[in-house]
Amino acid sequence: MAYYRAAGNIPPKRHTQHRRDGGELYYEELMGEEGFSSDSSLLYHRNIPSTVSASRVWEVRDQSTTPNHPLTPRHLKLHDLFDDAAVQEADVVTSRRLVLGNGDVRISYAVAARPSPWYRNAMGDECVYIERGAAHVETVFGAFAVAEGDYVIIPRSTTHRWLPVEDAANPLRAYCIEANSHISPPKRYLSRYGQLLEHAPYCERDLRGPGGPLLAEDIGASADEETEIYIKHRGRGPGPGNSVVGSIHVLPFHPLDVVGWDGCLYPYVFNVRDFEPITGRVHQPPPVHQVFEGMGFVVCNFVPRKVDYHPLSIPVPYYHSNVDSDEIMFYVDGDYEARKGSGIGRGSISVHPGGHAHGPQPGATEGSIGVEYFDELAVMVDTFRPLELGEAGLAADDGLYALSWSRAAGKQAGGQAVAALQDTDGAHSEG
């Protein structure tokens, strides 16, 4: 973000002496992108930030992937991935399960009740969408509370941890978009100096940075506590296009030892309810729904909105062959509850791969005429390289979705699930 913030205790001039009350120097760290040529921040530590007492391997949960071959549109049911017992043992970092991925981005999912270890993703930025529940996120830049509908953008190599708010009936559900690059607002939303422009569907006022006093002021007796930091980083991992490995660094002190920082690189939060939808007389294409972008992918969201108002408009999309992309839609909220257990619903992902035209299921186009409002909430990721299935993607596949456009195939299959799918998806969203 080219949006300057400052917090805590920093010296008036950068790269100059900055001392504690006792006269000891603070240790200045520049955290910067693109080799000192892009956004950066300066952090002032109580301890030397390079300090490591020990290092060992972190066996990151299965990152292998399976090609989507033969080419198949799919319906993945993420809510089947964590049962109640698993949730009680899960944290957002080490328990997340890989759903889909390629050499640019990985989509994982976690439902978690336990605090995560300290964590640093050196592969790239993370965009964690909070489907349900709430948590406190502690970072070296400060802490923030997150809740349903928040996108939490965490820059590459930011030390942080996730502390879910205890709520057995509504556990923390995190949809984790891990880039191998940086994640930012689309460039076309930004002025040449980085301000969000008038036509953008959100602006700086909608972004929450870390607030309150820096945690270094609160850790007290924990300041000298030995700490493990789980680091996800580049290496030679399993699976095509995947090079994810993990290490654990042991520090002889608490990682939240930053007394002040300033700059344009920091974690921030944007809530999907602050996205102002752009609508039109006829159907608007998915780029109007875009919220973020990374290298090789975009993130869009479909929010409750007035739909097309030309007298002859068709509110659902035309069939489309987005020839350069795989499209995956994560269904968060809306009218999908009626299909629960049989087809696309809350917690579903639809996978529409390049090479296959997709659009409304039979009957949905005619059925949408006259509808004035879509009450839906979905998060879409479009990738330019093909997505492969992670272990969780394979486990969550209902195996029926490819048949959902074919009434004849539905009758042959004879299953209620297939029949229900035929009435879903296109009646609501871009998918």
| Nearest to Fe ion of 116, 429 (CB atom) | 429
104 sits near Fe ion (criterion: CB under 5 A): no
- Read off the DSSP letter of residue 328: E
Minimum separation from the CB atom of position 352 to Fe ion (A) = 6
Q: CB neighbours of 66 closer than 8 A, spacing ≥ 6?
A: 388, 389, 390, 394
Minimum separation from the CB atom of position 327 to Fe ion (A) = 5
H helical segments located in 169-282: none
Query: Which among 287-295, 298-306, 319-327, 389-397 is the span making contact with Fe ion, rule CB under 5 A?
Result: 319-327
327 sits near Fe ion (criterion: CB under 5 A): yes
| Nearest to Fe ion of 159, 368 (CB atom) | 368
Minimum separation from the CB atom of position 349 to Fe ion (A) = 13
Minimum separation from the CB atom of position 382 to Fe ion (A) = 8
Minimum separation from the CB atom of position 243 to Fe ion (A) = 29
CA-based diameter of the chain, in Å? 80
Side-chain half-sphere CA neighbours of 401 within 13 A: 26
Q: How far from chain centre, in Å, is Cα 405?
A: 29
| Nearest to Fe ion of 327, 376 (CB atom) | 327
| Nearest to Fe ion of 184, 325 (CB atom) | 325
Per-residue binding string, Fe ion, 277-316, x by CB under 5 A, is: ----------------------------------------
Q: For residue 328, what are its two tokens?
A: 């995956």
| Nearest to Fe ion of 211, 355 (CB atom) | 355
Query: Which among 160-168, 221-229, 260-268, 324-332 is the span making contact with Fe ion, rule CB under 5 A?
Result: 324-332
Query: Which among 131-139, 168-176, 235-243, 323-331 is the span making contact with Fe ion, rule CB under 5 A?
Result: 323-331
In this structure, the dihedral spanned by the alpha carbons of residues 37, 40, 42 and 46, taken in order and rounded to 10 degrees, is: -110
| Nearest to Fe ion of 4, 319 (CB atom) | 319
382 sits near Fe ion (criterion: CB under 5 A): no
Minimum separation from the CB atom of position 406 to Fe ion (A) = 18
Minimum separation from the CB atom of position 237 to Fe ion (A) = 30
Size of the site for Fe ion (CB under 5 A): 2
Map the footprint of Fe ion across residues 391-430, applying CB under 5 A. Answer: 430
DSSP 66-94: B---S---EEEEGGGS--HHHHHH--TTT
Asked if 307 contacts 299 with a C-beta cutoff of 8 angstroms, the reply is: no
Q: Could you tell me the sign of the dihedral formed by the alpha carbons of 184, 190, 193, 194, in that order?
A: negative
User: Does the N-terminal peptide bond of residue 70 adopt cis geometry, omega within 30 degrees of 0?
Assistant: yes
Closest residue to Fe ion, judged by C-beta, is 327
Distance CA 247, CA 419 (A): 47
Distance CA 347, CA 173 (A): 10
Distance CA 19, CA 242 (A): 44
CA-closest candidate to residue 247, choices 160, 122, 125: 122
Minimum separation from the CB atom of position 273 to Fe ion (A) = 23
| Length reported for the chain | 431
Binding site for Fe ion (CB under 5 A): 327, 430
